[in-house]
Amino acid sequence: MDTTSEGAVVIMTERNFHHDDGLARAVLEVIGHHQPVPTMDIWYELGEDERFQDGIALAEVNEILFHLENSKRIFRKGGDKWMVKKGTA
């Protein structure tokens, strides 16, 4: 067992990665089912999701949307509404 601070950072990074990966998949699911969908509706839908019982911050949703948009998996339509690019859902 690694008790150094570096070991703790690795564990936290791995947990955050898995959380972010699951959150990204959930965001893609919400967008795919409700597109075009505003950010606030995505956040609301995630709050109702059993996988995120501890809650999701709006900042986390915005961060995931930013990463998904930069990776060309989603795009904005009409201001703050999101859609999934074909072939990425």
Please state whether the predicted TM-score (pTM) of the whole model is above 0.85: no
35 occurs within a structural domain: yes
pLDDT digit string, tens, across residues 32-86: 999 999 999 999 999 999 988 888 999 999 999 999 999 999 999 988 999 999 8
72 occurs within a structural domain: yes
Q: What's residue 88's pLDDT?
A: 58
Q: What CATH number has the domain bearing residue 63?
A: 1.10.10.10
Which residue segment(s) compose the domain that 47 sits in? 5-84
Total domain count, the chain = 1
89 occurs within a structural domain: no
52 occurs within a structural domain: yes
What distances in angstroms separate CA 1 from CA 4, 6, 11, 58, 87, one per listed residue? Answer: 9, 12, 11, 35, 42
